[in-house]
Amino acid sequence: MTSTTQTSRPQAFPVNWPARLGWIALTLYALYAASTLDISWARLVRGIDQGATLLARMFPPNTAEDKLELIATGIFESLQIAVLATFFGILLSLPLGFAAARNLAPGWLSTAARGLIAVCRSFHPVIVSILFVKAVGFGALAGILALIVSTMGFVAKLFAEVVEELDPKPVEAVRATGASFLNVLVMAVMPQVMARFVGLTVYQFDSNLRNSTMVGIVGGGGIGAPLFTAYQRFDYDVVLTILLIIIALIMLCEFASARIRRVFQ
């Protein structure tokens, strides 16, 4: 009796073999992938040397008058792209979101709307702006259109979910008082969705601002174009100036959006 209890003493934390094998497999995969991508220690070491040179050429950031003027133009254009893409993107997302909501729209319509949203979501904004640069030419318009597409992909999807989660009771109560459709919308639907909707809008503006700094690399306007030019001319000190301004702008924007969200809580 005593000997059997000794041998079968349960372990407090038995080894989880499937999990352990999974971790080993993941490590093996990482090593295999690294070898196929030609990643080696020598390249990393050489890269660190290169990185030091790059940083040395970046400092101090270039604050020459003419460069700053150029950067200011680009930053303002990026802001304009973000504002307009968010505004029109959301304007288009509202009907699309309603059309995609399964509790309001007929089945064929919501399926079609969901398909459109999936297509909008699948392509990276840079790819979409390449197509728009071909269609409407170089400049801010291509960037705006590209970001409108990505705004629709994100906001319409989540807005449809918000509408689907709508509590029908307030809607019925307001309707029972004989209110018109518009009144039902303002008094019963808006209060339920407003906080989520403002949160979505603010989040999307943040995301559009980030992306508007990038569409210029493929000709879509904004700060990306001067950044890419400076990079190609090896003016790394200008690159650093632009990067610092972008980071400051986005931090400011994140701070502002947190405040706005609190107001509409």
| Contact residues: another protein, CB under 8 A | 13, 26, 29-30, 33-34, 36-39, 43-44, 47, 50-51, 54, 76-77, 79-81, 83-84, 87, 118-119, 122-124, 126-127, 130-131, 134-141, 144, 210-211, 213-214, 217-218, 221, 224, 227-228, 231, 236, 239, 243, 246-247, 250-251, 254, 260, 263-264
Q: How many residues does the chain have?
A: 265
- Least distance in angstroms from the C-beta of 240 to another protein: 10
Largest CA distance in the chain: 90
- Least distance in angstroms from the C-beta of 167 to another protein: 17
- Least distance in angstroms from the C-beta of 205 to another protein: 10
Q: Which is nearer to another protein, 168 or 264 (CB)?
A: 264
- Least distance in angstroms from the C-beta of 100 to another protein: 16
Q: Which is nearer to another protein, 3 or 11 (CB)?
A: 11
Q: Which is nearer to another protein, 87 or 98 (CB)?
A: 87
Q: Which is nearer to another protein, 61 or 139 (CB)?
A: 139
- Least distance in angstroms from the C-beta of 4 to another protein: 27
Q: Extract the tokens encoding 110.
A: 């919501």
- Least distance in angstroms from the C-beta of 158 to another protein: 14
Cis-peptide, bond into residue 60, ω within 30° of zero: yes
CA–CA separation, 205 and 261 (whole Å): 12
Of 85, 62, 34, nearest in space to 238 by CA: 62
CA–CA separation, 176 and 179 (whole Å): 7
Q: Which amino acid is at 146?
A: A
Q: Extract the tokens encoding 186.
A: 């303002």
Which residues are CB-contacts of 77 (< 8 A; sequence separation ≥ 6)?
140, 221, 222, 223
- Reduced to 3 states (helix: H, G, I; strand: E, B; else coil), residue 61 is coil
DSSP string for residues in 183-197? HHIIIIIHHHHHHHH
Sign of CA dihedral 231, 235, 240, 243: negative
Q: Which is nearer to another protein, 1 or 44 (CB)?
A: 44
Q: Which is nearer to another protein, 166 or 243 (CB)?
A: 243
